[in-house]
Amino acid sequence: MEDPWGTALALFQVWMSVLVGLVLLPSMFGLSLGVTGVYIKLLVHVLEWATLRIQRGRKEKPIVPIPLPNGIIEREGGSMEQEMLEVRGYRPRGSLVEGEFALGDVFYFHKKGMESIVDDRVTQCFSSEELASWNLLTRTNQNFRYISLRLTVVWGVGVLIRYGVLFPLRITLAIIGMTWLVLGTSLVGFLPESSAKHWLSELVHLMCYRICARGLSATIHYHNKENRPKKGGICVANHTTPIDIVILANDGCYAMVGQVHGGLMGVIQRSMVRACPHVWFERTEMRDRNAVTDRLKAHEPKGSFEIGGIIYPVAIKYDPRFGDAFWNSAKYNIVSYLLRMMTSWAIVVSVWYLPPMTRQDQEDASQFAQRVKSAIALQGGLIDLAWDGSLKRARVKDSQKEEQQKMYSDMIVWPEEQPGSPLLPHTQD
C-alpha cells in the first residue's frame, strides 16, 4: 500500500501546477483562456432551464408561491406637493390666502410616518431583492421549495460543484492574492520614492487584484473606457461592497480613501499604504468634514466635492442571477461575506465610466454631490433616493429634518407676485 502522505503530496503538486499554469499566471498578466466565459454561458442555460421548470411547476402545482414584490407598502412615488393635493383636494389658488394652514395636512405626515415604521425605504435599499426566479443557490428561500426531482438533483450537483470544486479553487487564489499583496507592497515600501517605486507599486496592486478577481470567478464588462479616471482627479462610484475595489482595480490602479479597519483588513491596509499613498481615516475623523478636506488637500491626487477638482463618476452594477454581491455589514462580517461570495456561482458585473464632471459656479458641495449621484444612478439603472447611506446605523440628521420642514413651509407660504403654485394650480375664471 502506497504512502498516503506521498499520494496527498502528489495530488497537491498536480493541483498547484494546474492552478499556477492555467489560472494564476494568465491572471497576473491580464490574459484569459476563455474558461470563465464558457462556464458563464453554460450557467445561463442551466438557470434558464430551471426558470422554465419552475414556471411549469406553478401550472402543475398552483400551491407553488409567486414571487413577492420588494417591500410590503405600495407607495405612489409622487412628490410632497403631488401627494398633498390628495389631502387638500384640487382647489383654485384664489381660495387660499398666503400662509394658510390646513389641519388636514397632518394626515399626510401621519401616513408617511406609519409607512416608515412598517417598511421604510432605507431598510429596503439595504435588503436583498427577491429574484423573479430561483438561482439554485439556496435549497429553499421565501418563494421556491420542492418542485420536481430533476430540479432537486440539479441543485445537489450545483452544491457539489460550488463547495467541492469552485470553493477550494477560489480560496486558494484568494490566499495567494492577499499574501502577495501584503508581501509585495511591504517590500516595495522599503524602496525610496522614485518613478520605479510607483511603477512597481502599480504592478503589484494590479497583479494581486487580478488574482483576487479570478478567485471570485469575476466576469467584468467595462463600458466607455475613453472616460476612465485619470491622474489628478477623484473616482466616485456607487460603493455597495468591498469587492468594488477589486473590480475597479482590474482596469487601473487607484490611491484609495477609506475607513481604518482592524483584523485582517487592517493588516492589508497598513501594508498597502507603504507602497501607495492611500488615505485611511478613523471612524471619528470621517465625521469631521474639515479634517477630511485637509487630508485630501494634502494628498495626491487633489480634489473632492468640497475642494473642487475633476470628479470621474463610475456606475457599478452586479448581476443578481449569479450571486448577491451586496454586503450588509450589519448582518455579515467580512469573512462570512467573502465566504458567501466564494460559494456563489460567479460574480458578473458591468462597469460604466461616465464623462468627468466639475463643480459649477452656482453649485455648493451638496448640490454637486447630488448631481454626480444622480448621474451614476441613471447610468446603472439604480434608484436615486435623497438620503444619506449612514441612516442604516445613525439617526436622521437635523439638516434632513429641516429640509422636509422647509419644503412644507414653501408650500403654504407663497410670494404675492406668484400667480399660482405647483400644489394648487391656477385656474382661469
Instruction: Write the pLDDT tens digit of every residue in 317-365.
Output: 998 888 888 877 777 777 888 888 888 898 999 999 999 998 888 878 7
Give the integer Cα–Cα distance in Å for 37 and 47: 15
| pLDDT at site 90 | 53
In a domain, 134, yes or no: no
For residue 216, give the nearest of 244, 258, 251, 184 by alpha carbon: 244
**Distance between CA atoms of 243 and 234, rounded to whole angstroms?**
19
Quick one: 184 and 242 in the same domain? yes
220 and 183 in a common domain: yes
- Give every CB contact of residue 79 below 8 A, 6+ residues apart in sequence: none
Assess whether 99 and 245 both reside in one domain. Answer: no
Q: Considering the chain, what is the average pLDDT of its residues?
A: 75
Asked whether residue 426 is assigned to any structural domain, the reply reads: no
pLDDT for position 271 = 83
Same domain, residue pair 88 and 179: no
Range 21-28 average pLDDT: 76
Domain identity same for 380 and 406: no
> Which three cell numbers mark 88?
387638500
Structural domain total, the chain: 2
- pLDDT at res. 314: 93
Contact 318, 150 (CB under 8 A): no
Domain that holds residue 371: 31-62+147-389
Q: Report yes or no on 424 lying in a domain.
A: no
d(CA 211, CA 322): 20
Residue 104 and residue 202 in one domain: no
Strands 310-318 and 347-353, how do they pair? antiparallel
Question: Is residue 394 one of the residues assigned to a domain?
Answer: no
- My answer on whether 385 and 404 are in the same domain is no
Q: Does the residue 195 lie in any domain?
A: yes
| 272 HSE (CA, 13 A, CB side) | 24
Q: What is the mean pLDDT of residues 12-32?
A: 76
Distance CA 415, CA 368 (A): 28
- Distance (Å, whole) CA 48 – CA 339: 26
Q: Is residue 14 part of a domain?
A: no
Exposure b/e, 76-87, CB count within 10 A at least 16 = b: eeeebeeebbee
What is the percent of the chain with per-residue pLDDT over 90, rounded to a whole number? 7
Residue 10 inside a domain? The answer is no
- Give 141-148 contacts, CB < 8 A, sequence gap 24+: 142/65, 142/68, 143/65, 143/66, 143/67, 143/68, 144/54, 144/64, 144/65, 145/64, 147/53, 147/54, 147/57, 147/61, 147/64, 148/53, 148/57
pLDDT digits (tens, 9 = 90+) for 63-88: 555 544 555 555 565 666 666 666 66
Is the domain of 312 the same as that of 191?
yes
pLDDT band at 427 (very low <50, low <70, confident <90, very high): very low
- Shared domain for 124 and 268, answered yes or no, is no
- The whole-number pLDDT of residue 277 equals 79
Structure pTM? 0.72
- What confidence tens digit (pLDDT) does each residue in 136-195 have? 886 555 556 667 788 888 888 989 999 998 898 888 888 888 888 888 888 888 888 888
Same domain, 171 and 195: yes
Instruction: Give yes or no: residues 115 and 263 share one domain.
Output: no
Residue 379's beta-bridge partner residues?
none
pLDDT (0 to 100) of residue 127? 62
The reply to whether 248 and 113 lie within a common domain is no
Evaluate whether residue 71 is within a structural domain: no
Say which residue, 234 or 66, is predicted with more confidence: 234
β-strand partners of 259 = 281
